[in-house]
A and B are shown apart, each in its own frame.
Chain A
Amino acid sequence: MSVASTPPSILLADGDPDSREMFGTFFRRRGWQFDVVDAPSKLSSALEQGPYDIVIADVALPGADSLSLIRDILEKRPSQAVIAVSKELSYDQALKFFRSGATDLLNRPVDFMWLERVVQQIVCSRRNDERERLSYQFVTSERTEMVFSCSDIIELDTVPLPIVGRLEAIGALDHAQALKVRLAVQEAVLNALEHGNLGLESSWKEELHPDGADRFSATRRDRLRDPEFCGRRIFVTVSFDGTALEVVIRDQGNGFLNFPQGGAPERFSEVSCSGRGLALMYSAVDEVRFDHNGSEVTLRKATKPAGRH
């Protein structure tokens, strides 16, 4: 059966026997696959049997705090779609459910036509994601080039790395590795912006004003308004060759002498306001290499075999 034609799979958690019967009849008529639990205590073990496209949970389940029930589900399965079913919710109550991560809310008496539409929308989106994930296993190489202005970087805080999400989805990077790669890139981009394009000295961080502000931050603000500095660009190339992810970040600054080469810096033994970004970069990826007098840095992280790689 293809991904697209797989029927929706649903886990129903409902304390009311009549309601369970009504949902069950509807699901059977539509040809949807479903399992049912009648108590929140059983929801956790039932989820282990999954995965399910959607959990439909009666938020008046006996013995459960409804909001923490949804949070618990999402803690176990962060991408799980959850539809909360309730008799009547005020605007504030509904907002709380959405903030706790519910995908949608369904009022009782249940409008089954509405439910069908919501289920089809969720399932369609999940099938598309799954298809993309499966397709990505066949990608053997990829390369993206990006150019940013200084103000772009300030606005974005980092650079977009959709490839990291795709590699995580196919298991080539685990969640912690993906998080660290993003962090290492963010550190490298900040270095390129601050020490490269804006020419800021690390030692200025130690020069504190009475209000707690420092010379580094003050000069940073000034230079971000100065065309001589803020007109410079940052070039980012992201490539994947089937065995490793490589990110190259180049700035238009003058580079710097004594840039680190060949290994991680010593562990910190004193309170210093600089050098932490490098330590984080070295700890997050397999290789950190500086070129062009330090104005270009290459980060390399080996990936795990996934799919057909």
Chain B
Amino acid sequence: MDRTTTEWNVSLNARASLLAVVLLVLGLGLWEGLNQVPILGGGGELSEYEQLMAGADETAKVPPPSEVLVRAWEELSNPFYDAGPNDKGIGIQLGYSLYRVLTGYLLAAVIAIPLGFLIGMSPLMYKALNPYIQVLRPISPLAWMPLALFIIQDSEASAIFVIFICSIWPMLLNTAFGVAGVRQDWVNVARTHELSPLKTAFQVILPAAAPTILTGMRISIGIAWLVIVAAEMLVGGTGIGYYVWNEWNNLDLTSVIFSILMIGVVGMLLDLALGAVAKLVAYQE
């Protein structure tokens, strides 16, 4: 009985991987096949008009995956070139974006976690602050941008502020929720051992609420990475968002698709990193 289950599991995993690969090949093949660039007419002299129009395809098509791969190879083989303030390698652009995201995110964590603790431990604070949180939470990051630019008077700091303001809410709410949800028995045990409130907070409540807090942090980093692309498209200058905008400006979909993939990969790595931290603090009841 036991043996068959394992076999079944192994073959399930194997079959899942196989299916994933088949889907990928099928998808890419279809995409490639449907989007072949037509070969332009059989040589011959082009008229002046045709020469002026040459280069662009007869009808615009989504670039096939082979082109995206070639572009990816070009960009990734020289990721750190710097050809002036408006033309930098993909590695430098991602570096700028990560710097902004991590700065805004860490600032948000420094404020959200203590504040969340306070809200979670005190029903009074929760009731008093809740209306504000509910109003501020759903505001789109880009709506903040004009105001931030006007008040902060610096586009770099404004981008970081937008990350901050958008990534603070999930951390705040999850911390409050986690702290409020710590089992009353455990707090009572701490009380019978005559632990000081500070010790109770750090030695009982924090470890108990840690998995919920980490979930909030994981949601937040995802949001922060979503927001940075939009913010950089608006403010421009540097970063992966600017890269997308700049290639859109040139209607270069190959580069846009490549950067979409890069955004996805980096977002996944950020999530995996926080997932690994979450495993460290997880516990079984």
* A and B: interacting chains: no
